[in-house]
Chain A
Amino acid sequence: NAGVTQTPKFRVLKTGQSMTLLCAQDMNHEYMYWYRQDPGMGLRLIHYSVGEGTTAKGEVPDGYNVSRLKKQNFLLGLESAAPSQTSVYFCASSYSTPGGEAFFGQGTRLTVV
């Protein structure tokens, strides 16, 4: 009963390095999301996808790219990491729009030094 799985769970990057965060869900959900969570800021939507092959920008998309080549996977890429991208990243999925229950992964703690 995996639900939403994120890898890796922790990562330290140097400024300018790139990396990809992987999110996988086994619930056959159409909708997937990437959020970042910072102290005092709440969860903010980075990018989202309403189905395989589709992606769209959320509230804070700058510096990130995403891809949804398979329905069960949603990748978040950082091409050139900056210290401002130090955060906890959450992936989520839902059967319908966000107005319905969303299932979250366990988070990825990313530190950019």
Chain B
Amino acid sequence: EDKVVQSPLSLVVHEGDTVTLNCSYEVTNFRSLLWYKQEKKAPTFLFMLTSSGIEKKSGRLSSILDKKELSSILNITATQTGDSAIYLCAVEAGGYQKVTFGTGTKLQVIP
């Protein structure tokens, strides 16, 4: 059974701090890893990482895929209160349409 584990489960930081969120996976026939941000409602796409694209960056957010360690990290630098959200990691693997989500990391950024 495919597994995606995120850590920590929750995190409270002050504005301006840098945070690192972790995602590890055990899947058969890995295809891609995706990060989503979920504020009050719908998850919104952040990054997709594959064997051919193991590092992505957008503004203060960046993500790296470590295929050897079967994991990924999401870094957020100079955090802002608007970064407060649940960050979801998802892995596509194996057969058609098989995507497994982690339970998420809840980030709270306080002023």
Chain A interface residues (CB < 8 Å from chain B): 4, 31, 35, 40-45, 48, 50, 56, 58, 90, 97-107
With known contacts A102-B45, A104-B42, A104-B44, A42–B96 Cβ distance under 8 A: no
Contact digits for B12-38, partner A, Cβ 8 Å, 1 yes 0 no: 000000000000000000011010000
> Contact partner of A40 among B31, B44, B99, B103, CB < 8 A?
B103
Nearest-CB residue, chain B, relative to A88: B41
B4: which A residues are within 8 A, CB to CB? Answer: 42
B101→A50 contact, CB < 8 A: no
Please indicate which of the listed interface residues B4, B97, B102, B103 has the most CB atoms of chain A within 10 Å of its own CB.
B97
Q: How many A-B residue pairs have CB under 8 A?
A: 56
5 closest A-B pairs (Cβ-Cβ)? A104-B42, A98-B99, A43-B101, A99-B32, A42-B101
- Tell me the complex Cα distance, A50–B104, Å: 26
Please report whether the interface of chain A is mostly helix, strand, loop or mixed according to DSSP.
Answer: strand
A56: B residues at CB distance < 8 A: 97
Taking CB as reference atom, which chain A residue is nearest B1? Answer: A59
CB neighbours of A97 from chain B (8 A)? 92, 96-97
25 CB-based A-B contacts, threshold 8 Å? A40-B103, A42-B102, A43-B43, A43-B88, A43-B90, A45-B97, A45-B99, A50-B96, A50-B97, A90-B42, A97-B92, A97-B96, A97-B97, A98-B97, A98-B99, A99-B31, A99-B32, A99-B92, A100-B48, A102-B34, A102-B45, A104-B44, A105-B42, A106-B41, A107-B42
Select from chain B the residue with minimum beta-carbon distance to A98.
B99
CB-CB under 8 A for A106 and B48, given A40-B103, A43-B88: no
Determine the chain A residues whose CB is within 8 A of the CB of B71 once the complex forms.
none
A90 touches B50 (CB 8 A): no
